[in-house]
Amino acid sequence: MALARLHAPSLQSCRRHEASCSLTAPTQWQLPSSCSRQEQRRRSCCRRLQCAAAGAGPGSSAAVPTDAARSELKQQLLQAVSRCNNSRPGDNPIELERHVESLAEQLAATNPTPDAALSPLLLGSWALLFSGRSARLAAAAGMPAAAGPTLQQALQAASDRLYSLFYQYVPVLAGSAVGAQRGPSATNLQILKPGRVDNVVSTRSGPLPLRLCVSGSVETVTPAAGKETTCVAVRFDRFTVEAGSLPRTELSLAWLRPLGYVATIYLDGDTRISVGDKGGLKALQAAAAQQAAMAGYWRSILSSARAFGASRPAALLLGTAAVSAGVWAAQSEWRRQQQRSLQAASGAAEPSPVPHASSSPTATAEAAIADADPRLGAFVPRFVLEAGAGMIPHPAKADRGGEDAYFICDRGYAMGVADGVGGWAEVGVDPGLYSRELMRHAKAATSSCEPGPHCPQHLMEVAYLSTTARGSSTACILCLENDRLHASNLGDSGFMVIRDGELMFMSPQQQHEFNFPYQIGSPDSMSDTPQVAQRFSVEVRQGDIIVAATDGLFDNVYPDEAASLVSASKERGESAQAAAVTLAQFARMRAADPTHLSPFAYGAQQLGYRYFGGKMDDITVICAYVVPAPQPRSGSPPPPPPAARL
């Protein structure tokens, strides 16, 4: 048996030209001379599968099914799968699965795609609808059998046994977690590319969402003598586990490379039925078709709502008002609970629900300062930050000062940046108001906070509780405690530590998904809270350079470029302020370059988006040199004990 790499010369014709891919007309991936042979193979395969379904002999004949009959069978199969996956009390699961198997056999006998393993229709994303067993269909497909007892065959037998145990007791690990009888609910997505396959299972069976991915190579197997069906051989080589925000775990299967054969017995533009050499039967639907079906479902719901509103408008208005009031009350209570826990952790005074008309926005922070321990302020550092900032707003937002903000502590040990979320402009709110007030409160709170591991988090929480403007923002706050740099970062802003021209440390971004960062905000924003911020403690030395910036820098300038630029500025004797301005101007130049492969464009292309050039945005950069602290004057009080510091 010869193995050939699965290949599709024309992916664009996969589904867009499905209508032109008739069984009798050659396509651009089939030679005209092979059409008759492909048609004969299809009809022979259909006869064999019909015989397997009806129990007839090989000589039985059957009429070529019509498109209407095929559509009716597909509809019946989907209904049977839905009933099997959502069984009711009193249903017999075995009988339900047998009914699905029977319909799959009948539909396989009408397969419109000869040699499905060679068809580009097979490529793409497929959502698993049903997973069961059908030894009869697997035998009828005529997949190759193992030959000869070898070490590889012994390992393969052990792998098959492990798969069977998973299928029976932990079905989510076998990619078959569908239906009420399969344990935890899960979604299974098979992504087929030329030469590769990813089997992705996502489930939430516990406190953390779980994502499992088994990847492998795919090769087509030419049929042996007397066999008509072409199948594919899958050799898995990698297993990946992701649980919530925990680090991804990857296991190489190269030492085992378990082998399995899969035959696709039915394939069209939106439905696929496959059997495996282990006896598995799977019904899948193209991911795009599944999304279209869900869109149709929601359209029907909206149509019903419109009809109800037309007949009973008063009832619809009252119901909408009740739901809105319930959502608002739930949001408010959730926000109050979050604020109470933060206040207990940070020690900040609870803000008054109705502030006095003459109170300033910094009243809460000033109250916290007034109640601070009088010993605070006596801390004598060995190093301080000699810092300066450069800020360039987006050209379209320059008239209102942009949406970024920053602060630098007058005592030279703390600094921070914030990036207001631009989506608030769509509802008439200036996104820069929240970020500027947030940084103003953070700077005010430095008077009541001494450097320490918890200082950045304390500043972020006090600023968050004190800010009254509407909006939301990312935030990155840094505090220097002698030779330790402590940081709390939330969102896609961040910081870097540079030593002798080399990048020593760079904070990772926090994003819910691409271009959707973590953010803190006003009570009506339903944003994140400071509790989810990432916290860091990095060793620094005299002469190190610290750069804190919003995503306007990191989306356009690569880290090694930024490190080289600020190091060169320092070597030329320029101040930290000049280095920050130089770096911000360089980022603006890159943002305006449509030919530059920016970090943002590279990340977008890795996820399948078509994006080129830089990303125009507000750019805020703080550059700080770690320098020796000025010597304290004689007669200064001794520093407080470590327990008094945050």
Minimal CA–CA distance to 340: which of 326, 327, 353, 329?
353
Helix (H) or strand (E) holding 220: strand 210-221
> 3-5 and 383-392: which strand pairing?
unpaired
- What's the pLDDT at 174? 45
- What's the pLDDT at 42? 46
What CATH superfamily classification does 383-628 receive?
PPM-type phosphatase domain (3.60.40.10)
Is the entire prediction scored with pTM above 0.75? no
Q: How is the chain split into domains, by residue range?
A: 69-302, 383-628
Token pair belonging to 18: 């499905």
> In the chain, what are the helix, strand and coil shares in percent, each to the nearest 5?
40, 25, 35
CA distance 144 to 56: 24
CA distance 391 to 408: 13
CA distance 502 to 574: 18
Contacts of the segment 28-34: beta carbons below 8 A, 24+ positions apart: 29/118, 29/120
Minimal CA–CA distance to 484: which of 373, 623, 385, 622?
385
- What's the pLDDT at 262? 85
Residue range 313-355, pLDDT digits in tens: 777 777 777 777 777 677 666 666 655 555 554 444 333 333 3
Minimal CA–CA distance to 462: which of 339, 550, 353, 371?
339
DSSP helix/strand/coil, 501: coil
Bridge partners of residue 416, in order along the sequence: 407, 477
Which bin fits 195, alpha (ψ -120 to 50), beta or left (φ > 0)? left
Token pair belonging to 160: 């098959």
DSSP state of 579: H
Q: Are 103 and 257 in contact (CB under 8 A)?
A: no
Q: Are 349 and 367 in contact (CB under 8 A)?
A: yes
- What's the pLDDT at 216? 86
CA distance 252 to 464: 44
Q: Are 483 and 539 in contact (CB under 8 A)?
A: yes
From residue 164, how far is each of 216, 251, 640 by CA, in Å?
19, 20, 65
DSSP letters, 591-617, are HT-TT-B-HHHHHHHHTT----B----
- What's the pLDDT at 227? 57
Per-10-residue mean pLDDT for the chain, 646 residues long? 37 34 32 41 47 44 67 84 72 83 87 80 80 75 57 52 51 43 56 82 64 83 62 83 76 75 85 82 74 61 72 76 73 60 46 35 36 46 92 92 94 94 90 95 90 92 93 96 93 95 92 91 86 93 96 95 95 95 96 92 86 93 94 54 37
Contacts of 315 (CB under 8 A, 6+ apart): 308
- What's the pLDDT at 359? 34
**C-alpha torsion sign, points 630, 632, 637, 642:** positive
Minimal CA–CA distance to 260: which of 160, 128, 125?
160
